[in-house]
Structure 1
Amino acid sequence: MSIFQYEFMIRALIGALVIGLAAPALGIYLVQRRMSLIGDGVGHVALTGVGVGLLLDRSPVLTAVIAAAVGAVAIELLRERGRTSGDMALALLFYGGIAGGVMLVGLAGDRSNANLMAYLFGSLTTASVEDLWVIVVLAAVVLTAMLLLRPALFAICHDEEYARVSGLPVRTLNLLIAVTTAVTVTIAMRAVGLLLVSALMVVPVATAQQVTRGFRSTMAMAMIIGTASAGGGVWLAGTADTAMGATIVILAIAAFAATAVGAGTWRLLRRRAGTLAVHRRQPREVEPPEVVLDSPAEMVPERPA
């Protein structure tokens, strides 16, 4: 009996595939900027938004989007103005977001504590049709922006000063990355949860970097890996009755480990094959023929007659 005969499993699969496609498309820019952990920081701020929604009896997804967007824009402005380092700004997001979220959820009552677990660790199987539409639309917006603006976004991630001299709207593009990060974190929290959301944006990119060289090929491979991990995680979680978010992340990490081992082995074999080929092409030194004397008399020079 297939697990996909149930409607909630079909919705979970569609949502996971969409998120697995969009998250690495954004994550590659974060990895390029060496800000891989910003997803965790924004996720913690989104937890505060979830707490506000539960406390006010409003949609936690909507309040999480607003809180995450404000936090992402704040960290980008702090980084741009240079008033604090990126690590310090991320630390503020980490601790302030998680503390505010826990406090607000506690004020919302015991019933909200159970709902909080779904946002912390993901719960795609409880997503309604309306939730699925929100996920699909927001993921489509993120994916479209990341693909259409790829040259400009790559420029500011690779060399921000050069991009500014070239006339690109650096601040606008930086804020765009910040806002799309907040949106991606918010939609991905339904799949893998706020505590694991950064993994779905970073791990597929790290895996793709093991076997690709160009930015475009790395982006395409990361999206394929993310989609495969998300879809496979839904199937495995439904079959083995495990936590869906954790299963998706475990598959993504397993793919990274397998790819790293395979790529390392391939490079080692190529290096050895190249060394053998060099040795075969090198000419051997020809030693002079050894002179064998028939008798000791041959060693005495002849006297002139």
Structure 2
Amino acid sequence: MFLLEPLQYGFMQRSLLVAVIVGIICAVVGSYLMVRRMSLLGDAISHSLLPGLAIAFILGVNLYVGAFVAGVISAVLIGWIHTRSPIKEDAAMGIVFSAFFALGITLITIVQRTNKIDLNHFLFGNILGVSFLEVRDTAIIAAIVLLAVALLYKELLFYCFDPMGAQAAGLPVHWFNAGLMVLVALTVVASMKAVGVILVLALLITPAAAAYLLVPRFHQVMLVGSGIGIVSSVSGMYLSYYYNLPSGPAIVMVVSAIFFVSLLFSLSYGLLTQLKQTFKA
């Protein structure tokens, strides 16, 4: 009864479907980011979506399209600053995402003067309010992301673990870097309604990080991370429904709790496991 009661409502059915989709693609793409040590790229791109959202709203076009275009532009700018100047990649991310975020806040503030637009839904998500069209858009984005990963799994894995080796082997590493950024942008756009641009980094990185503590192989990290992402998203939805909590933060709190449990009890890296072995020695 506890599990079935929310399912009688159409909005919960749509929300749970989006939660499952987002949990899967965030863990898959986040696994690559973690291996590549580019976790902050997700944060940079997520913050950079706001001007695209505002401009899309002003022009009356699909918000997903505006957000994606802004995400890709920010990713291109980060790469351009990094390759064309002595500025390091992490500094370039900070510069671009802060500039785009400030521009987005400014544009949305201007829009709010004449239109009713809730900024909190963009920042923290509103998965309980997803429409059928938004479910469709999220599913299409997820299909594109998962298809790209399936087709380029080995090449992306080689590039993420050993970029110099991949370049020496003749792989187009610049295209792989650009492709990974596009995948991140698509994933962030798909997750925008679920957890918002502020919290999307948690769903991108934390499930993969928890899985990394639990299993040894990369494909296992993807699979276990996807499971953690699904469980976290669905559990957060139920917490949001029964306790009247904001859905995005509820999802992030659950996935963070799972990570810290993994950090404590992992058979290979768990802090309590290592402590127990120390006492035995």
TM-score, structure 1 as length reference: 0.85
Q: Give per-residue Cα distances to partners, 1:216-248, cap 9 Å, x unaligned.
A: 222211111111111111111111110110000
Matched, 1:268 2:268: no
* Aligned-residue RMSD, C-alpha: 1.7
Aligned-residue offset at 1:110: 3.7
Are 2:35 and 2:160, in contact at CA under 8 Å, matched by a contact in 1?
yes
Tell me, yes or no, if structure 1 residue 34 matches structure 2 residue 37: yes
Tell me the residue number matched to 1:62.
Answer: 65
207, 218, 225: which one pairs with 2:210? 207
Determine which of 88, 100, 104 is the counterpart of 1:97.
Answer: 100
The DSSP-based 3-state class of the residue aligned with 1:213 is coil
- Partner amino acid for 1:269? K
**Structure 1 unmatched runs, 5+:** 276-305
Task: Find the residue that maps to 2:215 and give its secondary structure.
Answer: coil
Give deviations 1:49-92, integer Å, cap 9, x for gaps.
Answer: 11112223332221111111111122234334554211221111
Report the identity percentage: 31
Give deviations 1:109-168, integer Å, cap 9, x for gaps.
346564321111101122111110000110121122223322111111111111011121
Asked if the contact 1:55/1:105 (under 8 Å) is kept, the reply is no
- Within the candidate set 190, 193, 210, 1:190 is matched to 193
Task: Check whether the contact 1:124–1:190 (CA below 8 A) recurs between aligned residues.
Answer: yes
- Cα separation, 2, equivalents of 1:78 and 1:51: 25
Distance 1:80 1:220 in 2: 34
| Matched ranges for 1:123-134 at <5 A | 123-134=126-137
Maintained 8 Å contact 2:77/2:96: no
8 Å contact from structure 1 (residues 105, 112) kept in 2: no
Aligned match for 1:74, one of 77, 80, 89: 77
- The range that moved more, 54-63 or 222-231, is 54-63
Could you tell me how far apart the structure 1 residues matched to 2:150 and 2:224 are?
Answer: 14
Specify which of 5, 16, 19 is matched with residue 16 of structure 1.
Answer: 19
1:113–1:14: structure 2 CA closer, same or farther, 3 Å change rule? same
> Are residues 51 and 155 of structure 1, via their aligned partners in 2, closer, same or farther at CA, if it must alter by over 3 Å?
same
Q: Aligned to 1:138, which of 136, 141, 152?
A: 141
Report the residue type matching 2:71 in the other structure: A
1:250 aligns to 2:250 (yes or no): no
Which structure 1 residue ranges, 4+ long, deviate > 6 Å from structure 2? none
Over 3 Å counting, the alpha-carbon distance change for 1:214 and 1:80 in structure 2 is: farther
- The structure carrying a bigger helix percent of its residues is 2
Q: Give the distance between the partners of 2:85 and 2:170, measured in 1 at CA.
A: 21
* Residue number in structure 2 paired with 1:289: none
The corresponding residue for 2:165 is 162
Decide whether the 8 Å contact of 1:225 with 1:252 is kept in 2.
Answer: yes
Alignment partner, residue 300 of structure 1: none
CA distance in 1, matches of 2:15, 2:136: 12
Per-residue CA shift, 1:90-112, capped at 9, x if unaligned? 11122111111011112213465
CA distance in 1, matches of 2:135, 2:55: 22
Q: Distance in 1 between matches of 2:22 and 2:265?
A: 27
TM-score normalised according to structure 2 size:
0.92
* More off after superposition, 8-17 vs 148-157: 148-157
Gaps of 5+ in 2: none
Whether the aligned pair in 2 keeps the contact of 1:105 and 1:116 (CA below 8 Å) is yes
